[in-house]
Amino acid sequence: MKDHKEQACNIIILGASGDLSKRKLLPALFALYCNGMLPHDTRVYGYARSKMDDQQFREKITANLNCRYTPDSNDCAEKMETFLKMCFYQVGQYDSIQDFTALNERMAKEKRADANHLFYMSIPPDIFIDTSCSIGGAGLMDVPDGFWSRVVLEKPFGRDSKSSAILMKTLKSIFDEESTYRIDHYLGKEVIQNLMTLRFANLIFEPVWNRNYIDWVSIAFSEDIGCEGRAGYFDNFGIMRDVLQNHILQIVALVGMEAPVSLDAKHIADEKVKLLASAAAITAAETIVGQYIANTVDGEEKPGYLDDDEVPEGSITETYAHTIMHINNPRWSGVPFYLSAGKALDTRKTEIQIQFKDLPYSIFNGTGKENPQANKLVIRVQPNEAIELHVTNKVPGMGMEMEDVKLDMLYHDSFDEELPDAYERLLLDVIRGDRSLFLQDEELRVGWDIVTPLLHQLEKEGKKPVQYPYGQEPEHGCPA
């Protein structure tokens, strides 16, 4: 196979008039272009139902392109102009083989040579299958020898174990596994990618990374904004399907898994699957679900979830969930994993905490001085990416007081490099054909098995979530 930059590449964004395309995908492609990482002969085709021509599409996307990799403003303007000339727009229906054939013909006409094809499905889940059939039906997956056609799928991958399995089976009849890239953008975040390095490239963590030394683990995702602007989509899913079943479980897998045989995508997925398959399904008895209500935050009126016009009256969709996960294997038996995810909380933060146990015996006990605190490792995924190890230290001076102090590594202080956006890394990996940061189908299956029984139970009972004021996390009674 040739170097990924040498072959011409058509990147087709399906759902190009949508939010993800505008906010994340096109800016990520522009950043890759500025860094000289895209194939030399790349064309980006936006595809959607809205009527637009190439020029209108270019105008629509310009405002979100930024030049953080090319601070020189002259350079930036020039780069932007060239990049925009590589972007085109094709109007079409998703369920029309004819419209996709028209796209195919246009691409064939506009390219000098054969090209690779990357399809990015930035579209609602209910049209995944029709769209995939149109791509397949228009012959867009049939490529000449030495070229590839790849498809990137974004969650939600179904609503529960059964619908996910049906979706996967149908998609597999159109796209082979090697050409399918199921994205979970958290896997492209720098700190999440670092989890394997931290655990397996340092001697000091692995010996204590188990039930003998760890008291509990917590993984918490919080956002300080509600569902404004996305409530129509969100109401069909809720926070457990939107964040917990995917982003959080992927973090659990990377924190908890055994070392993979190698960095090969299959070996990494095998370990993640083993870990998630050892977890018991989460239960109603250990879960709290909440929904935010209107509140005044810093003098500003914030609407409740049900106040949103896009939310059906009386919706019981949860915007917050806190639960406890139990992993039944020799490494983790008895160590609770506290998982939480919520919208409209007091802060925007994603953080992993590893709480170590108390000392088995302390020579400082009984001295009348403050006792040593148990160690804690905090891995902050965002914002202000950091790794902090809490250690007990003697307070300088004539006495023998002790204090919990942080040994901290802030990414911004330790590295000069700009942290790439997750989508930059992941799009580049699709072009390079590296699937190690993408989900394999088995990971989806075991992930859904952990949450499906509870989701079904909540739906059946139809119980209202607890209400919490916008900007305040509900009480859950767990240490984290």
Catalytic residue list: 247
- Give the C-alpha separation, 183 to 121, whole Å: 10
Q: Which is nearer to ligand BG6, 223 or 318 (CB)?
A: 223
DSSP designation for 323: E
State the pairing for strand pair 337-342/214-222: parallel
Tokens of 386: 């950091």
- Give the nearest distance from C-beta 412 to ligand BG6 in angstroms: 18
50: Cβ–Cβ under 8 A, 6 or more apart, which residues? 17, 91
Residue 138, both tokens:
């228009």
Q: Taking Cα atoms as reference points, which of 441, 448, 354 lies closest to residue 171? A: 441
Q: How many residues of this chain bind ligand BG6 (CB under 6 A)?
A: 3
- Residue 325 near residue 282 (C-beta atoms within 8 A): yes
The dihedral through the CA atoms of 90, 95, 97, 98 has a sign that is negative
421 binds ligand BG6 (CB under 6 A): no
Question: Closer to ligand BG6 at the Cβ: 225 or 259?
Answer: 225
Size of the chain in residues: 480
Nearer to ligand BG6, 16 or 243 (CB): 243
Residues 210-229 touching ligand BG6, rule: CB under 6 A, are 223
Nearer of residues 29 and 174 to ligand BG6, judged by Cβ: 29
- As given in the structure block, the two tokens for residue 154 are 């974004």
Give the side-chain half-sphere CA count within 13 A for 22.
12
- Read off the tokens for 472: 């305040």
Closer CB to ligand BG6, 80 or 240, in the complex:
240
Minimum distance from CB of 117 to ligand BG6 (Å)? 25
Structure tokens at 337: 């994993």
Site for ligand BG6 in 229-288 (CB under 6 A): 242-243
User: CB 447 → ligand BG6: shortest distance, Å?
Assistant: 14
Residue 242: CB minimum distance to ligand BG6, A: 5
Q: How far is the CB of 385 from ligand BG6 (least distance, A)?
A: 12
Nearest residue to ligand BG6, by Cβ distance, number only: 242
Sign of CA dihedral 35, 178, 180, 151: positive
Task: Give the whole-angstrom CA distance, residue 31 versus residue 461.
Answer: 47
- Distance (Å, rounded) from C-alpha 221 to C-alpha 340? 6
Q: Give the start-end residues of each E strand in 28-170.
A: 42-48, 87-91, 116-121, 149-154
Closest CB to ligand BG6 among residues 223, 473: 223
User: C-beta of 223: minimal distance to ligand BG6 in Å?
Assistant: 6
Of the two residues 117 and 380, which places its CB atom closer to ligand BG6 in the complex? Answer: 380
Q: Which two tokens stand for residue 242?
A: 């939107």
Report the candidate in 15, 301, 266, 281 with the shortest Cα–Cα distance to residue 161. Answer: 281
Please report how close the Cβ of residue 222 comes to ligand BG6 at its closest, in angstroms.
Answer: 10
User: How many CB atoms neighbour CB 307 within 10 A?
Assistant: 14
Which helix H or strand E contains 8, and what residues bound it?
Answer: none
Q: By CB under 6 A, name the binding residues for ligand BG6.
A: 223, 242-243
